[in-house]
Amino acid sequence: MKPLIGISCCTKLFGTFGMINHAASDTYVRATDQVVGGVPVLIPANGVRADIETLIARLDGFILTGSRSNVEPSNYQGPPHAEGTPEDVDRDAVTLALIRAVMRAGKPILAVCRGLQEFNVALGGSLHQRLQDLPGRIDHSTPMQPNPRLRQGKAHQVKLAPGSLLHRLAQAPVIAVNSLHNQGIDRLAKGLVAEAWAPDGTIEAIRATGHPFAFGVQWHPEYDFDTDIVSAGLFRAFSEAISAQRHQGLAVAD
């Protein structure tokens, strides 16, 4: 049987009457189906009602998705967001607890954009709320464009840590990535190491030490997994980690 891959959802308003829905982009579903080889299972952003224990027990791997919303600052003792900044406190309540449980269980997890930020916060790190307001930093937020090629296209380069997963996938010290975020890592959480950096020093990829596969990237590999070898390779590495753990579990059961 195929592995079950949990994909974190956001709460979003849909329809004529603006009813709350739980949503994740189709790009994560397609990457899970086409590259990871798993069955996508959407994890609702149902706040404190989420059954984290059951999710950990039933699912084989986890993808933390990107989102327009920002992690609510009280989760990292930060100042309140500027008025109008989108937040999703119910998603925060699910994902932060889920990350801690995943780390205890040792199950594979891939964190994307907001997911990387959640990963850092869940383990005790902090965030910059608007990178573009900091001296010496570039604007990491791509302008809202209806054309996906412009909105999702490569925006800047990142330098890769020698010998890291990304370095091995790229077979190069530098790659180009897309960029659609305002927040970024400020204080890196204990137990995480940085593995890629933007030209302005912003951390663009992280890995948890002492874990089979707990990896996060600040860009969106789900946008171009069908054309970019690093993006595809990242999802394949995630898939291989899931397969290895499932086989290990079967061996223990036997």
Q: Give the tens place of pLDDT for each residue, 146-178.
A: 666 656 667 689 999 999 999 999 999 999 998
Which of these, 145, 205, 144, lies nearest to 169 by C-alpha position? 205
Least confident segment among 44-58, 146-160, 184-198, 236-250? 146-160
Instruction: Based on the residue annotation, tell me whether 113 is a catalytic residue of this protein.
Output: yes
Q: Is the pLDDT of residue 77 over 70?
A: yes
Confidence band (pLDDT; 50, 70, 90) for 31? very high
How many domains in the chain?
A: 1
CATH number for the domain spanning 96: value is: 3.40.50.880
Token pair for 92: 């925060």
Q: Is the pLDDT of residue 194 over 60?
A: yes
Determine the Cα–Cα distance for residues 46 and 91; give it in Å rounded to an integer: 7
Token pair for 250: 């079967």
CA atoms within 13 A on the CB side of 13: 6
C-alpha angle 62-219-11 in degrees, rounded to nearest 5: 55
Full residue range of the structural domain in which residue 33 is found: 4-253
H or E element that contains 117: helix 114-122
pLDDT recorded at residue 40: 98
pTM for the structure as a whole: 0.93
Q: What is the overall mean pLDDT for the chain? A: 92
C-alpha angle 226-12-7 in degrees, rounded to nearest 5: 45
Instruction: Based on the residue annotation, tell me whether 222 is a catalytic residue of this protein.
Output: yes
Determine the Cα–Cα distance for residues 115 and 81; give it in Å rounded to an integer: 18
pLDDT recorded at residue 13: 86
pLDDT recorded at residue 219: 95
- 3-state DSSP call for residue 165? helix
pLDDT recorded at residue 154: 79
Question: According to the per-residue pLDDT averaged within each range, which of 67-71, 144-148, 151-155, 214-218 is highest?
Answer: 214-218
pLDDT over 70 percentage in the chain: 93
pLDDT recorded at residue 23: 94
pLDDT recorded at residue 151: 63
Pick the catalytic residue: 9, 72, 113, 204? 113
H or E element that contains 98: helix 89-105
